[in-house]
Amino acid sequence: MPDYVLYEQRGAVAYVTLNRPERMNALGHEVRKGLIDAFCKVRYDPSVRVAVITGAGDRAFCAGGDLKEHKELFAKKSYRVGPDYGALDEPPNSSTIVIETYKPVIAAVNGYALAGGCELALACDIRIASENASFGLTEVKVGRGANFASVMLQYVIPRGLAMEMLFTGNHISAQEALRVGLVNRVVPLPELLPTASGLAEQIAKNAPVSLRRIKELSVKSLGSPLFFALKMAPGPSPYETSDAREGAGAFAEKRPASWKGE
């Protein structure tokens, strides 16, 4: 069986590549499984501090669910309504496994990021797009739900623009995505991975307990009242760690810090 998701670690950065370019890196069963496996590695390997996710080829980051595969599955069973995707007892999916990985994740979006592919990019903390990228939540055009994006997109861009994307299924260009704040920056395609790698390496130099605390608090406080969020304090506290002492010492001694992650 081909490796539909590639995993490579360079230093403290893990690179996760959707590797199905002939299907525009669509999220078939094996791709979803590969993503979950890859991000389990990112989660639990202490030597990984940052992850970068991208798609193979230059046409698509990810074109969403594999509708050809879904058609084959639908032919084997009758239609039904419910239970809903996103229920509390649902297992992790390719978007939630990313957002609930409490390490920084950068999306290097090369080409189309549509439907579940756009949701996958939304699950990342930082999005860098190539000039040929475009974004769309096309689920309404094929009778699907955009469960993750229906919640998450309005936290990233103004709600009116989010609802327009969700209700129409229309694409927006990389430049429009930059204008509305959906992506952090737009670069020429040959510069995409070097830009994402440079940023990932810069982030990876920082204290891992601090990175985890920031990511976990950011995710878990989404939608919470301000003062509740400020008192939430999830995950490990960085303030009394050996890394906090190392950081202070390195600053005073004008040397690079040597982090232990504890």
19-32 pLDDT per residue, tens? 999 999 998 888 99
* pLDDT for 73 beyond 60: no
pLDDT for position 80:
52
* pLDDT for 67 beyond 80: no
Question: Catalytic residue numbers?
Answer: 119, 139
Mean pLDDT of the region 131-150: 90
* pLDDT for 242 beyond 90: no
- Residues 105, 135 contacting (CB under 8 angstroms): no
pLDDT for position 51:
98
User: Residues with Cβ < 8 Å from 139, sequence gap 6 or more?
Assistant: 64, 115, 145, 146, 149, 166, 169
Spell out the SS3 assignment of 121-178: HHHCCEEEEECCCEEECCHHHCCCCCHHHHHHHHHHCCHHHHHHHHHHCCEEEHHHHH
220-230 pLDDT per residue, tens? 988 888 888 88
For the chain, the structural domain boundaries read 5-204, 208-253
157-210 pLDDT per residue, tens? 999 999 999 999 999 999 999 999 999 999 999 999 999 999 999 999 999 999
Verify cis geometry, omega within 30 degrees of 0, for the bond prior to 83.
yes
* pLDDT for 72 beyond 80: no
* pLDDT for 58 beyond 50: yes
Identity (one letter) of the amino acid at 35? Answer: L
Give the N- to C-terminal CA distance of the chain in Å, as an integer: 39
Q: Where residue 69 falls among pLDDT bands split at 50, 70, 90?
A: low
pLDDT for position 77:
55
- Residues 174, 192 contacting (CB under 8 angstroms): no
pLDDT for position 87:
46
89-117 pLDDT per residue, tens? 444 577 889 999 999 999 999 999 999 99
pLDDT for position 68:
56
Candidate CATH numbers 2.60.40.420, 3.20.20.140, 3.90.226.10, 1.10.3720.10; the one for domain 5-204: 3.90.226.10
What count of residues does the chain have?
A: 262
Residue whose pair of structure tokens reads 């005073």 in the numeric block: 252
Residue whose pair of structure tokens reads 């999220």 in the numeric block: 27
What's the pTM value of the predicted model, to 2 decimals?
Answer: 0.89
User: Picking from 6-10, 180-184, 249-253, 258-262, which range would have the lowest pLDDT averaged per residue?
Assistant: 258-262
